Amino acid sequence: MPKGSTRMHWLLMSGSDHNDNQTKMNISQLIRKNIRALKPYSTARDEFKGGDISVWLDANESPYPNGVNRYPDPHQKRVKRLIASLFGVAPEAIFLGGAGSDEAIDITFRIFCEPGNDNVVAITPSYGVYKVAADINDVEIREVELNSDFSLPVARMLEASDSHTKLIWICSPNNPTGNAFPKEEVLKLSESFHGIVVVDEAYADFSGEGSLLPEIQSHPNIIVLRTFSKAWGLAGMRCGMAFAVPEITEYYNRVKYPYNMSSLIQEELARRIVEGTGNHIEEIIREREHMASKLSEAACVEKVYPSDANFLLVKVSDADAIYDYLIANGVIVRNRSRMPLCDGTLRITIGTPEENAKTLTLLNNYR
């Protein structure tokens, strides 16, 4: 089972006492005014209050069954119940994105940030989607470089923020540096910051650091992003999640497109969760450690950074040339050498043992 799936019985169950007035007030003050006032689209099925219906003439659907002639559940109730028990949270603590966690990232900007007025703070180097989503939403992004050892520059992040800073973006384990930040540092940051701290935990299942999910209860200004794309091996299904106190997820659910996850995907995701992951987390971690030690012996490799994820950041003698050499031999990696602090690096995903062996042989033979 992936990490985070150990049961946290107390977390975010309805009626728990995180729900005090203080919290409510702070959160709602951070929400954009128009979003706070938003009256969401009400679907035909929202207006259906129950009853023994056998003839559905409320949604202008085709009456002829073909497996997908009916609209999907806009609230994704069944799959959310399964995710809730998997992660030990209440269903109300979950937002489910049918375009992956990229959808959660975009909606986070739209809920909290007034275009042209508010700003966010993020770390760099990190996942590129935060900046693209900020640019699309016309929100200034203040990128703060990690410390040279890739540790979290907590003081500089706080210094970069002002009264218009709504969000701080953290990716942990961080893409592309691979390291997870100590939980205590993220908690400290959330305690010192007046806005929301978003922690993207796409790779948390590969890390020993553990998830911040259990801390949301005591730190309601933390939003945790998770995804089915990595450890669950379902990148093609596009299922991402945001976990937060219900005062926040309520807004995600208001802002999202009503039918943002197709019935085919809801059914398939539910089936996969019930079946279990068939995941390869332990195998990938084992391969990662094996690759890290073997790679560091290759002549063209100068440094292999420690990794809490399913990839390795590797400093090589000539990143551009080695990148091209690998492609010429049928292997593609990610050239990260133009990112801050990542001069001369390639990011190598952990593949199957055979794929890793092939990559290793190529690098050993590089002259």
List of residues contacting ligand PLP (CB under 6 A): 100-102, 127, 171, 175, 200, 202, 227, 229-230, 235, 240
For 164-175, give one letter per residue: b (16+ CB within 10 A) or e: ebbbbbbbbbbb
Taking the least distance from each CB to ligand PLP, the nearer of 237 and 298 is 237
Taking the least distance from each CB to ligand PLP, the nearer of 189 and 298 is 189
DSSP string, 16-53: -TT--HHHHHHHHHHS-HHHHT--PPPPHHHH------
Q: How far is the CB of 234 from ligand PLP (least distance, A)?
A: 9
Give the residue from 276, 227, 218 showing the smallest Cα distance to 245. Answer: 218
Taking the least distance from each CB to ligand PLP, the nearer of 161 and 174 is 174
3-state SS assignment for residue 285: helix
Give the DSSP H or E segment for 165.
strand 165-171
Taking the least distance from each CB to ligand PLP, the nearer of 125 and 247 is 125
Q: How far is the CB of 366 from ligand PLP (least distance, A)?
A: 27
> What residues contact residue 4 under an 8 Å CB cut-off, 6+ apart?
87, 201, 204, 205, 210, 211, 213, 226
Q: How far is the CB of 257 from ligand PLP (least distance, A)?
A: 16
Taking the least distance from each CB to ligand PLP, the nearer of 32 and 336 is 336
DSSP 180: P
Give the residue closest to ligand PLP by C-beta: 100
Q: How far is the CB of 104 from ligand PLP (least distance, A)?
A: 8
Q: CA-to-CA distance for 318 and 301, rounded, in angstroms? A: 9
Taking the least distance from each CB to ligand PLP, the nearer of 217 and 253 is 253
Q: How far is the CB of 179 from ligand PLP (least distance, A)?
A: 13
Q: How far is the CB of 57 from ligand PLP (least distance, A)?
A: 37
Taking the least distance from each CB to ligand PLP, the nearer of 195 and 240 is 240
Q: How far is the CB of 172 from ligand PLP (least distance, A)?
A: 9
Q: How far is the CB of 178 from ligand PLP (least distance, A)?
A: 11
Q: CA-to-CA distance for 318 and 37, rounded, in angstroms? A: 54
Handedness of CA 31, 223, 160, 143 (dihedral sign): negative
DSSP string, 186-234: HHHHHHH-SSEEEEE-TTGGG-SS--SGGGTTT-TTEEEEEESSSTT--
279 CB burial (10 A radius; 0-12, 13-18, 19+): middle
Taking the least distance from each CB to ligand PLP, the nearer of 239 and 292 is 239
Which residue is listed with tokens 């073997």?
A: 294
